[in-house]
Structure 1
């Protein structure tokens, strides 16, 4: 075990991250009800998703990666802000999400990613952020509550995966400076 200090860098996701991002997301597709996608993706199938999150503007993709002595390790997680709905009147609302690598849980990676994401979004023309959390998921509920999200409702048995129905609890957070 190395005693060299490690640091976690949070940065915009880039095309070179596509394979690692796809691999991380596919874990949640295969193993959990956290996402309602039921078929794994190839990196090429995920490319439009990645490209829909530029380095600036309201729709962002941030990744967390361990760094030791100038060398970067695998991705530890990612966070996104995406359109809440496609109709124009929803333009000042975003849906946010965070995914942490299965072996990186409990290290504060989600907190680092959301802190960076909300700092990046602070000057955008945004009014609200929404997060849908498949239940049960206490870790995600705690993370969102810590960032000022409030529960606004639950869709009961809205998704079916692995032969079971799951609820999705919806959380909302006020953003600024848009009014």
Structure 2
């Protein structure tokens, strides 16, 4: 049984309904809930300071891997087919482009014009499992330093402290996700 502190929050109702309608595999739903939970923690710490649209981040975190409904092999193996497939799937279901974008950009944080919301979803998708991604963290550090009017090193220390704390729970989150079955092949 997973410790209550690792029981992730519920997804936004519209995202949860869409996942149910699509018959999303339980492991995918578990993953999306875990990333969503980490995104909420990032928002609680910096959302307001960064001027991030919390609803966009919540929806993006809840649906960023929705393309794995179409590419379930990417639930247990690396792959990027789910990214564009997810964006297209969301658009086909009437999701506005601003919300559908996260499915296509969550692994592409170096794209020109990437939003703060996209960076936060990307960061949540890495740190939920304890992975630290230096180039992504540099981008978030730059935005945090500018928003707070502090030197980069000071912003990095703040970022590093929270990410280290989040990473400490990674094993429990990974175990929680692994407790859900993969789809039958």
| TM-score, normalised with respect to structure 1 | 0.32
| TM-score, normalised with respect to structure 2 | 0.31
More helix by share: 2
More strand by share: 1
Larger RCO of the pair (alpha carbons < 8 Å, separation 6+):
2
